[in-house]
Amino acid sequence: MQKPFAEEAANREPTGLLSLNGIVKHFPGGVVANDHVDLEVRSGEVHALLGENGAGKTTLMNILYGLYKPDSGEIRIKGNTVQIGSPREAIALGVGMVHQHFMLVPRHTVAENVALGLTGSPLWRPDRAVTKGLEELGQRYGLPVDVHARIGQLSAGEQQRVEILRALYRGAEILILDEPTSVLTPQEAQQLFEVLAHMRREGHGVVLITHKLDEVMAVADRVTVMRQGRSTDPVNTKDIDKPALARMMVGRDIVFRLTKSACEPGEEALKVEGLQARNDRGRQVLDDLSLSVCRGEILGVAGVSGNGQLELVEVIAGLRRPTKGRVQILGRDLTGKPARVVADAGVAHVPEERLGTGVVPSMSVRDNLILKRHHRPPFSKGALLQTQAIRHYAHQAIEQYGIVTPGARTPTKLLSGGNIQKLILARELSGEPVVIVAAHPTYGLDVGATEQIRRLLLKQRDSGAAVLLVSEDLDEITALSDRIAVIFEGRIMGIVPAAEANLDELGLMMAGTPMQGGPA
């Protein structure tokens, strides 16, 4: 990863911009999300906020942004003690936030979204007033965006650009980014870091929440680690390394390289032939795509997002009808069958979009854990739900996957981002799935949970599951896969054994150059 800031670090005079002192926040159910947290951000620095899933990072930032009121503690901005009762007040004090889950209105245009809620906006066509300023800002920060495009038509990376521009437009001097790169391609992430470098030069302060330690090492000046609601003293990134950071977070050593046993592929479990499918906007995004995965094997699908991965996964999971082609599980044709039938045939699905497809946010943790299986034994007999079995299973899953929640009956929407992902994984990876289709399975997970889930996927493979792993993260793909397929514009550019894969060759295929000698 490039270091956009390295050269300037020495000749800056840091000054105090923001300090949070002794912040305490309790939630119902006995959760102490923030337990006397301190955080100090200087002008002209990128400050990483690190910590395990559920450590209290988002809560702390929501307090700073005026979304929650702290039980006690003090916030100072440029030396003055302030009360921040709402996002509007936060913005007036120069605090901007880009959330873990985006908060733009999909039907409106970029300019309308920025104008929305702005004080002093004219009533008639408020978007016109902001257009010029937005375009100038976009130029200045290297954040090009079509101000007339509707949000719903933009990629995740573009939406994030809009969120950042909106914050800057409103005069943010302190910008909070909550896991900004989990939805970005590596190239988009690099662009984001250039923007952060720019903000830093202008004397702004950035709080960056991320689980990617390489990013912390590359772009942050200092790091504050949170553990179970408490904060540590900040450390300079130049005085520390990645293993030490991981240890500060989870209190043990993390294995960044997994050892895995040799692959012993069994019978063909998933076979996809000549698939064609359209996306939500009616464009054809799968183009005669074929692949197969055997029991005991992990096939990684690498590619820049938006090249048909989402639709491929949905077609296999029974959530999207292909316009042509077939999907077979253990030789049985399941093309176009409903998701319930596909799940009952032994297909586990870890979706890309966790809040929409993965869980029902208003339902309890327990009900989400048995979501697709409540109609099958041991959870039901005849028409009767077996509450005892369900309760037992839920407690076991919470324990085994380390899901941080006050209880099994807590509404799922109250869990932290990473803990919702753990819930989905617990549901999909338990039992004996024949095929596991996993999109970005470690998205949003902390380093400890990432390691645990990767081990689990390997264990499932070793006990005979066929795994289709879709990810943009080449580290993840190469760490787990036995074979790697590269997808580009809905087609497979080539399939290589993971042991022989080289990054340059994968990169070329990801950009649309078919493999030498044609696709395998």
Q: Give 91 or 415: the residue with its C-beta nearer to ligand ATP.
A: 415
| Phi, psi (rounded to 5 degrees) for 501 | -70, 135
Kindly state the tokens that stand for 383: 């028409």
Q: What angle do CA 181, 187, 192 make, to 5 degrees?
A: 50
99-118 residues in contact with ligand ATP (CB under 6 A) are none
By the 10 Å C-beta count (0-12 exposed, 13-18 middle, 19+ buried), 324 is classed as middle
Q: Which residue is nearest to ligand ATP (CB)?
A: 418
CB closer to ligand ATP out of 127 and 163: 163
The one-letter amino acid code at 303 reads: G
* Residue 20 contact among Mg ion, ligand ATP, none, beta carbon within 5 to 8 Å by kind: none
Extract the tokens encoding 461. 């493979």
Q: Does 154 bind ligand ATP (CB under 6 A)?
A: no
Would you count residue 419 as binding ligand ATP (CB under 6 A)? yes
51 contact, one of Mg ion, ligand ATP, none, CB 5-8 Å limit per kind: ligand ATP
Using the contact rule CB under 6 A, the part of the chain among 86-94, 215-223, 321-329, 413-421 near ligand ATP is 413-421
Among residues 414, 474, 508, 515, the one that binds ligand ATP under rule CB under 6 A:
414
* Nearest residue (CB) to ligand ATP, 44 versus 444: 444
Least Å distance between CB 59 and Mg ion?
Answer: 8
d(CA 328, CA 439): 19
Of 417, 441, 448, 490, the residue at the interface with ligand ATP (CB under 6 A) is 417
Q: Which residues of this chain interact with Mg ion, rule CB under 5 A?
A: 58, 416-417
Site string for ligand ATP, 47-66 (x = CB under 6 A): ----x-xxxxxxx-------
433 binds ligand ATP per the rule CB under 6 A: no
> Which of these segments, 150-158, 313-321, 410-418, 433-441, binds ligand ATP (CB under 6 A)?
410-418
Counting contacts by CB under 6 A, is residue 355 touching ligand ATP?
no
Count residues binding ligand ATP (CB under 6 A): 18
Selection from 14, 516, 471 nearest residue 234 by Cα? 14
Task: Rank residues 170 and 211 by Cβ distance to ligand ATP and give the closer one.
Answer: 211
Question: Whole-number minimum distance, CB 54 to Mg ion, in Å?
Answer: 8
CB atoms within 10 A of CB 271: 18
Q: Which stretch binds ligand ATP (CB under 6 A): 25-33, 134-142, 372-380, 424-432?
A: 25-33
How far is Cα of residue 340 from the mean position of the Cα atoms in its chain?
A: 26
State the minimum distance, in angstroms, from the CB of residue 404 to Mg ion. Answer: 11
In angstroms, the Cα distances linking 363 to 129, 130, 354, 379, 387 are 42, 40, 14, 17, 16
| Radius of gyration of the CA atoms of the chain, in A | 24
Instruction: Give me the sign of the Cα torsion angle 377, 379, 380, 381.
Output: positive
98 near ligand ATP, judged by CB under 6 A: no
- Containing 400, the helix (H) or strand (E) segment is helix 387-401
Q: Is there binding between residue 212 and ligand ATP (CB under 6 A)?
A: no
Nearer to Mg ion, 58 or 405 (CB): 58
Under the binding rule (CB under 6 A), the answer on residue 70 touching ligand ATP is no
Q: Does residue 222 contact residue 5 with C-beta atoms inside 8 Å? A: no
Residue 422 CA, chain-centre distance (Å), reads 12
Residue (60 or 293) nearer to ligand ATP, CB: 60
Q: Which is nearer to Mg ion, 212 or 349 (CB)?
A: 212
At its nearest, how many Å lie between ligand ATP and the CB of residue 34? 8
Task: Specify which residues 301 forms β-bridges with.
Answer: 470, 485
Select 322 or 417, whichever has its Cβ closest to Mg ion: 417
CB atoms within 10 A of CB 21: 14
Give the Cβ contact number of residue 306 at 10 Å. Answer: 15
Cβ contact 207:41 at 8 Å: yes
* Phi, psi dihedral angles at 64 (to 5 degrees): -65, -30
Q: Give the distance from CA 75 to its chain's centroid.
A: 29
Whether residue 285 contacts residue 271, with contact meaning beta carbons closer than 8 Å, is answered with no
Choice from 18, 23, 33, 469 touching ligand ATP (CB under 6 A): 33
Residue 198 or residue 230: which is nearer to ligand ATP going by CB? 230
Contact present, 226 and 49 (Cβ < 8 Å): yes
**Applying CB under 6 A, does 404 fall inside the site for ligand ATP?**
yes
- Contact residues for ligand ATP (CB under 6 A)? 27, 31, 33, 51, 53-59, 404, 414-419
